[in-house]
Amino acid sequence: MVGSSNTDMVIKLTRIPRPGETVLGGEFFMAAGGKGANQAVAAARAGGEVTFIARVGADDFGRKAVAGFRRDGIRVKHIVGDQKAASGVALIFVAPDGENSIAVAPGANANLNPVDIKRAKSAIAGADVLLMQLEVPLAAVKEAVRIAWKAGVPMILNPAPARPLNDDILRHVSVLTPNETEAELLARTRIRGESDLKPAADRLLAFGVRAVLMTLGAKGVYIATKERREIVPAFKVKTVDTTAAGDAFNGALAVALAEGRPILEAARFACAAAALSTTRMGAQPSLPRRREIEKMMSRTSGGMR
C-alpha cells in the first residue's frame, strides 16, 4: 500500500457555516483517516498481510496513527516520520442531511517522494498486489508503478482524488477503480446514466488498463474487461455514513485479488465490505473484519440485492 494518512476532525452541525459565520452547538469527534491509511486498514481487517508506505509527522497525530496501524497488524517499517511537516489533517463539517464541507492540510503526505518508495523496493517487488491512490505526490506513485511493473506485481489504482493522468501510468494498471466522477475525468466523457458506462469504460481500457471497476455508490460496481461487462449490485443495508465506503471497497478488493479470486467474486467481496462500512460512523472505525464480510456475502442466496 502506498498512500496518505490523515486525522479527521469532524463537527456535526445543524447546517454548514457560511463564510464569516460561526455556528454553535456542534458535536465533535476525531477519527483516523486518509485514503491510503483507510485502505491499508480495510485490507488488513479483510485478512490481508499489509505493508504501508507513507509519511506522517513526528507529532502526536503521527504517533497515534502508527500505533493504530500496529494494532491492525500492518507492517510500518516504511512509514517515515517527517521532521519538518505536521501529520495530515482533515477538518470536516457535516450537516444532518449528510452534506459536508471539508478542508485538508496534507502535511507530511505531500512530502512522500521517490526516495521513500525506492527504500521500500523489496516490499513492493515481493507483494502479491500493489494498491495506490492519488492523495500523495504523483512522483511517488510513478516510482511505485515502475518498481511493481518491473517485478511483475499487479497494480490497483484508485484514482482519487480525481486528477488527470497520462498513459504512462494507466497502461501499467491492472485494475482501475474510479467512481463516476473520476471516470469522467480520466475518460474525458460525460456519464449521465447506465448507457454511458460502457463507452467510458471502453476509453479507459483503451489506455491499456486490464480491468475497470467503476463504483456506483448504492447501485454497486460496473465491471469492464475485454471479455466482460456487468454490474454487481450493492448489498442492501441501512446507511449511516458513506465516508469510507470506497476505501473499504478497495482494501477488500486488493485482498481478494491477492488471494487469487476471479474478478467477479473479488468485486462481490469488496461490495460486501463497502456496504458494511456505511452502517457505522467514521472512516477507519467503520471498516469491517473478514468474518463480517463473509457473513454479509452469505446472508442471502445470491449475496446481493
pLDDT band at residue 300 under the 50/70/90 scheme: low
Annotated catalytic residue 247: yes
Asked if the structure places residue 52 within a domain, the reply is yes
Share of the chain above pLDDT 90, in %: 84
C-alpha cell of 41? 486498514
Phi, psi angle pair for 130, to nearest 5° = -110, 125
Asked if the structure places residue 24 within a domain, the reply is no
Q: Specify whether the CB–CB gap between 76 and 70 falls below 8 A.
A: yes
Asked if the structure places residue 3 within a domain, the reply is no
Burial of residue 95 (CB within 10 Å: 0-12, 13-18, 19+) is middle
Asked if the structure places residue 21 within a domain, the reply is no
Identify the active-site residue in 8, 72, 116, 247.
247
Containing structural domain, residue 290: 34-86+109-297
Residues 108-122 have pLDDT tens digits of 999 999 999 999 999
Please name which of 101, 104, 103, 93 lies closest in space to residue 14, comparing C-alpha atoms.
Answer: 93
What are the DSSP E strand ranges found in the chain? 6-12, 27-33, 54-57, 79-82, 88-94, 100-105, 130-132, 155-157, 175-176, 211-215, 221-224, 229-232
Asked if the structure places residue 19 within a domain, the reply is no
- Give pTM, 2 decimals: 0.92
Asked if the structure places residue 217 within a domain, the reply is yes
Asked if the structure places residue 289 within a domain, the reply is yes
CATH number at residue 172: 3.40.1190.20
Residues 17-43 have pLDDT tens digits of 999 999 998 899 898 999 999 999 999
Q: Specify whether the CB–CB gap between 287 and 277 falls below 8 A.
A: yes
Position 23 scores a pLDDT of 92
> Collapsing DSSP states into helix, strand and coil, what is residue 253?
helix
The number of folded domains in the chain is 1
pLDDT band at residue 281 under the 50/70/90 scheme: confident
Give dist(CA 116, CA 79) in Å, integer. Answer: 9
Asked if the structure places residue 283 within a domain, the reply is yes
Q: Specify whether the CB–CB gap between 237 and 247 falls below 8 A.
A: no
Residues 138-153 have pLDDT tens digits of 999 999 999 999 999 9
